[in-house]
Chains A and B, each alone.
Chain A
Amino acid sequence: MAAAAAQGPATVTEYIQHHLTNWSWQFGQNSFWTLNLDSLFWSALMGLIFLVSFAIALRTSKRDIDKPPTGFRKYAEGVVTMVDNNVKDSMHVSSPLIAPLAITIFCLVLFMNAVDLFPVDFWSTVVAERGFHFEHFKSVATTDPNITFGMAITVFLLVQYFSFKMKGVVGYGKEFLFHPFDHWALIPFNIVLNLVEQIARPVSLALRLFGNMYAGELVMILIGLFALTQGWPFSFGAAGLWLLQFVLGFLWGAFHVIIVLLQAFIFMMLTIVYLSLAHQHDEH
């Protein structure tokens, strides 16, 4: 609120608009050549936190192998075991990539989503108080479609790579031409169907995560509006609005914990499924 208040949040619309705009940097002629610096910052930070925290946790686990894991180690080992089991359940061939990829996706998405549980203006305020005055500073990276599409496209590229690697150009091409209908007359139809299927996967993957997190963030912003124009709760009505905002924020936050976890899990699970399909040799 402080960041917004510094520039004077004239209207509710402006407040919402302000919170849905990224801190961006255009470096090319075309508006495509723009980087959303806040999204990339959070994405990179969460990647770093994931790598460092897991490295420390697992190093500690190795040292204290005889003691049961506690605290963060419990989480780290639990995630690893859960992902590993999921991968083993859905894969018939072992691949050195899928399990690490699944863990990375789960943790990265979970961490980026979890930032949503901080109050809406918390991080922008923290940054502003450190002397950095950015015009915009969105903190939940997964509410930026660029981030979700970036991850979904990475998964898509990996799926294509493994499809070619495991089935060969001929095998994959055959699947594209003769699947699901094994008849030469239906080849064009098969191609269209497979193209749609292949493209729909990353799009749905990216939009599902983006939509869920964006909607959640939007609701958080709307809840944040209750006491926005009230100032300090000196009057009875203002105090009521503050209380309402607090209760609603708490309830939505508690519900959002589930969404945060669930979306991370879904993204991971679908990636495992797509990659296991890429490894599968179709028999018919």
Chain B
Amino acid sequence: MNLNATILAQILIFGLVIWVTMKVLWPEITGTIQERAKKIAEGLAAAERGQKDLLAAEARVEELVKAARERALTMEHQAQARANQIVEAAKQTAQSEAARLLEAAHAQVALETQKARDELRGQVAALAVSGAEKIIEREIDPRTHAQLLDKLAAGI
């Protein structure tokens, strides 16, 4: 290990390289790297923005879907209610119609019964008259006994 003037020469060389690096290389280095860092930062920011936009859009879609679903649900409810109403109304109409028909039938039956009864009454009266004629062997003037016969018929 022999130390000699090489040290001094090396100090000169080294100092020169440092000086050139500091004066020429370094400003260029920092400029370029800072610019690149800026670009990367911008890219990252843009990506983040995109992510945020995507999230916002997704939230909006969710909202829209939710609103649509709610609307569909209310529509369904309304339709159900309307259908129930219609069915109820139809039922009511049918019931009243049935009651009306029943009443009419009842009236008809009563009428028919009355008619049959009247007819029967007449026939019974006639039968009674003819029976009586046979019993007493003489003509009974229905006109004279109409009052009596009527009373009889009403008694049946």
B-binding residues in A (CB < 8 A):
24, 28, 31-36, 39-40, 43-44, 47, 50-51, 54-55, 58-59, 61-62, 65-66, 77, 80-81, 84, 96-97, 99-101, 103-104, 108, 144-147, 149-151, 153-154, 157
Q: Is the CB of B14 within 8 A of A58?
A: no
Q: Is the CB of B25 within 8 A of A35?
A: no
A-B contact count (CB 8 A): 119
B10 to chain A: which residues have CB within 8 Å? 39-40, 43, 146-147, 149-151
Q: Complex Cα distance A81/B15, Å?
A: 23
Residues from chain A with a CB closer than 8 A to the CB of B31 are 62
A151→B14 contact, CB < 8 A? yes
Looking across the interface, which residue of chain B has its beta carbon closest to that of A68?
B36
A32 touches B15 (CB 8 A): no
Which A residues touch B36, using CB under 8 A? Answer: 61, 65, 77
B11-38 with Cβ < 8 A to chain A:
11, 13-18, 20-22, 24-26, 28-29, 31-33, 35-36
B4 adjacent to A47 (CB under 8 Å): no
* Size of interface on B: residues with Cβ below 8 Å to A: 31
Given A47-B16, A66-B39, A104:B21 Cβ within 8 A? yes
B38 to chain A: closest CB distance in Å?
10
A100 touches B26 (CB 8 A): yes
Interface of A, helix, strand, loop or mixed by DSSP? helix
Interface contact A54-B22, CB-CB below 8 Å: no
Closest B residue to A55 by CB, please name it: B25
- Give the Cβ gap from B47 to chain A, nearest Cβ, in Å: 16
Would you call B135 an interface residue if the criterion is a C-beta within 8 Å of the partner chain's C-beta atoms? no
- Interface check B9, CB cutoff 8 A: yes
B11: chain A residues within 8 A (beta carbon): 150, 153-154, 157
**B29 → A minimal CB distance (Å):** 5
Cβ of B136 under 8 Å from chain A: no
